[in-house]
Structure 1
Amino acid sequence: MSRARPSAASTPAPVQRGRGRDRHGRGIRSSVTGPYLPPLQTRIDTFDMTVASTVDYLRSVLPDQLSDVTFEVAAGPASVLPGIGVERWTVYPAERRVLFYRLPIQRLTRLHRDDDLHRRMVIESCVFRAIAELLGKDPWDLAPDRFRHF
């Protein structure tokens, strides 16, 4: 059974909607937390803050060696290395630059306990290992007094 097609006269004119409205015309969405609470932190924000705080700590410990080093965060590497897999970071010694890949660090690392502390420790360990690779040192030699609490 075929349907009758609507004529051009019976189709409604397109509705003109202003900027900042969603497709149903209800207006701009508010934040999930509401106007009285601080905005939620995303995994991207947490990752960036963890990398930045770890780099700041290492710059305070090794100011001469890390003063001209640039640190960047990218979503992921452009390709997979055959036989190695997905890189967590890339070090460019000639440019004095370290590039961290957020998604492989966050998603491909197996944690024995999946909580905020262990996720932060994985990110910090990647930062320590990448900087150690740049400087040609062992990661434990970067800040030996950090883990001595006695």
Structure 2
Amino acid sequence: MPRSSHSQRSGTGRRAVRHDRHGRAGRSSVTGPHLPPLRGRVDFFDLIVGSTADFLRGMWSEELENVSFEIGGMPLGEPGPTGVRRWDALRDQRRIILYRVPIERLARLHVNDQLHRQMHIESCVFRATAEYLERDPWDLGPERFR
């Protein structure tokens, strides 16, 4: 007499597969279990600041050597006469600190979509770096804006 398919499967030693209530196996995430997906504002901000900093380091490698680009939540202290600071360019400490909350929340974008948010974050990185280097922001990467 032939064996049932259930008894044949149990003897193979395969891993158990979790099924949902419809009997289908669950799908794994695209990035895998070891890497969280990039979905949030914080992840988007970190990615844009990192890629813009890498571009600027490639253009100004000598001047930005050993300069760290850091991301902070909010600047400490009271707002100054010009309002809440968006960044600090600390030449003596070789640090550029970008404050995520003021950059994101105080932006006055005429179109609030992903592209315009990205361009605003990039412009803040450029302006902070220009302040650090004591140059005009347009001089940092002229071919980037063509």
Do both proteins adopt the same fold according to a TM-score greater than 0.5, normalized to the shorter chain? Answer: yes
1:91: how far off? 1.0
TM-score for both structures, normalised by structure 1: 0.72
The 5 Å alignment of 1:1-16 reads: none
- The correspondence for 2:118, drawn from 117, 120, 141, is 120
Q: CA contact under 8 A between 1:54 and 1:124: conserved in structure 2?
A: yes
Aligned pair count reads: 115
Listed as ranges, the gaps of 5+ residues in structure 2 are 1-26, 32-36
Task: Give the residue type in structure 2 aligned to 1:105.
Answer: I
Write the distance in 1 (CA, Å) between the matches of 2:80 and 2:61. 36
User: Any residues of structure 2 matched to 1:72-87 within 5 Å, and which?
Assistant: 72-87=70-85
CA 1:82/1:67 → structure 2, altered by over 3 Å: closer, same or farther?
closer
| Aligned counterpart, 1:35 | 28
- Supply the RMSD in Å over aligned alpha carbons: 1.4
Shift of 1:36: 3.5
Q: Deviations over 1:109-147 (max 9, x none)?
A: 111000000000010000000000000000000011222
Cα distance between partner residues in 2 of 1:132 and 1:40: 29
Q: 1:56 to 1:80 in 2, by over 3 A?
A: same
TM-score by length of 2: 0.74
- Report sequence identity in percent: 50
Shift of residue 35 of structure 1?
3.2
Q: SS of the residue aligned with 2:63?
A: helix
